[in-house]
Structure 1
Amino acid sequence: MKDAQPSRSGTTRPARIATARGPGGAIRAQFSGFAARLPGLALAVGVALVATALGRLVPVVGAPVSAIVLGVLVALAVRPGERMRPGIAFAGRGVLQAAVVVLGAQLSLGRVLRVGAASLPVMIVTLAVCLAAAYGIGRRLGVVGDLRTLIGVGTGICGASAIAAVTPVIGAAEAEVAYAVSTIFVFNVAAVLAFPALGHLLGMGQHAFGLFAGTAVNDMSSVVAAATTYGGPAADYAVVVKLARTLLIIPVCLGLAALVRRRARTADGHAGAAGSGRGLTSRVRVGRLVPWFLLGFLILAAANTAGLVPSDSHGPLSVLAVFLITVALSAIGLSTEPSRLRRTGPAPLLLGGCLWLVVSATSLAVQFLATQYL
């Protein structure tokens, strides 16, 4: 028998262990992993379906916010057990990443770049001011770490979509995601109610208000609601500005990925070794700084721009992206511990309000300066 054979170190090892763990074993392991995830994933999908129905009844609230609220309520009423956790964890991370990829199908890079070139000064300045304010005001209010980052990028870029993209990059906790999404939602509703009246008060034209809504309102549904109230041309322009603004997710995620990686290397005691002449950047593989879902986002956007994505599939893909985000936020709600939210206190909500005012004022100020001096 050849049950065992000597290794190079002189010890024995099974000779046919690789055969026993061949393709059949790998398939069984994958099936077992899927089966373990199924109950929790099914629960998240069920909550998402109910949230989608509620979102259609109350469009200002939307399905994603309804999902996270329903998830928290279900978690309070019937705390999901250990059997549900693998699927809920997968929905909160894997489904969230898939949603970001599908979002790319909404982008026509050519049109976005044309409109984005005109609106780029407003977008860049508002984002830079928002992130700086998130850091400074957040520290003053005692909001630190991942929660401050999530509220900052959610306010400065595109609400729940930006939070969805950044969450797996920085490894934010479910409670922080829940609080950030809820904060963004409050000021989305405020924007829908207040911005059209403000635009008329300031005598803004359709394109000017579209640029304002596209850069100062967060989630797409709220952008459409606010701009449509103002007028059809404003809504058309605001949507494209908002899509161009979505592209800012890419450099922000890359920067955060590099920062997280550098902190991890420092914590592991490897930072000092970079001084030997090779340098830190020579050791960092660019591929590791680019999350796979951002690559998928860009590939799908490029395919759409090249006409490889049929135009009649844009609507269904947009619906799919929103539903995937809804499933993910349902899972985040299901795994949230309300006690952690209570311990966080009102400071994050106050931070979100401050950032909302800062972004709105900055967008208006940059537009005014541009019309006066450019």
Structure 2
Amino acid sequence: MKTALPAPPRAAAPTAVATIAHPDKQWLSRAVFAVFLVFCLTPWASPPVALALGLVLAQTVGNPFPSFTKTYTAKLLQYSVIGLGFGMNAYSAVQAGRQGILFTVCSIFGTLLLGYVAGRWLKLGRHLTHLISCGTAICGGSAIAAVGPVVRAKDEEMSVALATVFVLNALALFLFPAVGHAFNLSQQQFGLWCAIAIHDTSSVVGAAAAYGKEALDIATTVKLARALWIIPVALGTALAFRQKDVKVKIPWFIVGFIGAMLLNTYVLATHYVGPWLVQAARLGLTVTLFFIGAGLSLNAIKSVGAKPFGLGVLLWLVISSVSLYVILHT
């Protein structure tokens, strides 16, 4: 019987080199992450700048805390949205909600129908098509996260759908304010357009905040009212896909936002702490967008694929252009 010989010493050399180099790169990525995060907490940072810093981090030294940013992105966004409620008036919010209700209903069902037709034309899977369509129609990642378990989507389908809407969200955050100024949109018009045409709540609030306070109030209210459609759409999805024993997650942070807004409107004492809470919420939103950008690595973008990304772009362009035309001519 032959005895196995140990590996020659020189075969271990590459591993030793990699082990030495890895901590250096990890230290650098952590240092850059810390510097960017601290900057996002300063008055010089804004949501678009924070997103850009996150993208720079992801494409260069990489995100050293992917699990941390993934876990806390949604939580930080939800708490930030609740905090923004302390700077809003209930009467103004109701008025803004009335203006956006018809837009919301027509755009949601129109987007879902167009997505179904375009998905069949592109020969995409039914689950992936529905996830991207729901993300575009309602509220991006939140809608995908709610509908995915209902259709029992695979992890790969969820990842591709989320990556698609996150990439388009990043583009929207930079493009929409520029388009709004080019068409000379009012604060009210831009806030409504943001809420209808941008997927995720984080990018809606970020783009609207860059445009003005009135735009921010309108965009936040209309977008959160739109997000409530997660519930009926998820229930309808269960029926359409003939799924049984499914659980639909209720977006409780919207209830928190409404509660904060009511407190700010009717309880005088909240006026003393309201401005501080709103400021903290805006900082939280800025950090949220930095986390989102840090999660958009080149590999994540490449994983989308041409057809799913094409479907996302098609739906986004249609809902953006049609809603902008209607807003300009009504």
Scaled by the length of structure 1, the TM-score of the pair is: 0.57
Partner AA of 2:40 in structure 1: T
Cα distance in 2 for residues equivalent to 1:299 and 1:207: 23
Cα distance in 1 for residues equivalent to 2:328 and 2:39: 40
Cα distance in 2 for residues equivalent to 1:325 and 1:224: 10
Cα distance in 2 for residues equivalent to 1:146 and 1:51: 40
Query: Which of 229, 233, 241 is the matching residue for 1:252?
Result: 229
Q: Does 1:126 align with 2:111?
A: no
Question: Which residue of structure 2 aligns with residue 52 of structure 1?
Answer: 40
Cα distance in 2 for residues equivalent to 1:145 and 1:319: 42
Question: Which residue of structure 2 aligns with residue 70 of structure 1?
Answer: 57
Maintained 8 Å contact 1:187/1:356: no
Query: Which of 314, 321, 326 is the matching residue for 1:354?
Result: 314
Q: For the structure 1 residues 140 and 96, does the alpha-carbon distance in structure 2 shift closer, same or farther, using more than 3 Å as the test?
A: farther
Cα distance in 1 for residues equivalent to 2:267 and 2:109: 33
Q: Which structure 1 segments of 5+ residues have no match?
A: 1-41, 229-234, 272-279
- Residue 352 of structure 1: how far off its partner (Å): 4.1
**Residues 60-87 of structure 1: per-residue CA shift (max 9 Å, x gap):** 72424533553564436x6x5xxx84x4
Question: Which residue of structure 1 aligns with residue 208 of structure 2?
Answer: 223
- Residue 113 of structure 1: how far off its partner (Å): 0.8
Query: Which of 305, 323, 327 is the matching residue for 1:363?
Result: 323
Secondary structure at 1:61's aligned position in 2?
helix
Runs (4+) of structure 1 moved beyond 6 Å?
42-45, 260-265
Partner AA of 1:362 in structure 2: V
**Residues 155-208 of structure 1: per-residue CA shift (max 9 Å, x gap):** 555xxxx34643653468567545422212213423322333334xxxx77765
The CA RMSD over aligned residues, in Å, is 4.6
Query: Which of 169, 175, 191 is the matching residue for 1:184?
Result: 169
**Taking every aligned residue pair, what percent have the same amino acid on both sides?**
23
Question: Which residue of structure 2 aligns with residue 137 of structure 1?
Answer: 118
Cα distance in 1 for residues equivalent to 2:296 and 2:266: 41
Query: Which of 86, 93, 96 is the matching residue for 1:105?
Result: 86
Give aligned pairs, total.
289
Cα distance in 2 for residues equivalent to 1:323 and 1:165: 21
Query: Which of 182, 186, 204 is the matching residue for 1:197?
Result: 182
Maintained 8 Å contact 2:47/2:286: no
- Residue 112 of structure 1: how far off its partner (Å): 1.0
Secondary structure at 1:75's aligned position in 2?
coil
Q: Which structure 2 segments of 5+ residues have no match?
A: 1-29, 149-154
Maintained 8 Å contact 1:178/1:332: no
**Residues 27-77 of structure 1: per-residue CA shift (max 9 Å, x gap):** xxxxxxxxxxxxxxx9998476256269945x472424533553564436x
Cα distance in 2 for residues equivalent to 1:260 and 1:349: 22
Q: For the structure 1 residues 103 and 349, does the alpha-carbon distance in structure 2 shift closer, same or farther, using more than 3 Å as the test?
A: farther
Larger Rg: 1
Cα distance in 2 for residues equivalent to 1:98 and 1:178: 23
Scaled by the length of structure 2, the TM-score of the pair is: 0.63
- Residue 250 of structure 1: how far off its partner (Å): 3.8
Q: Does 1:297 align with 2:257?
A: yes
Cα distance in 2 for residues equivalent to 1:55 and 1:179: 31
Query: Which of 270, 274, 279 is the matching residue for 1:310?
Result: 270
Question: Which residue of structure 1 aligns with residue 72 of structure 2?
Answer: 91
Partner AA of 1:306 in structure 2: Y
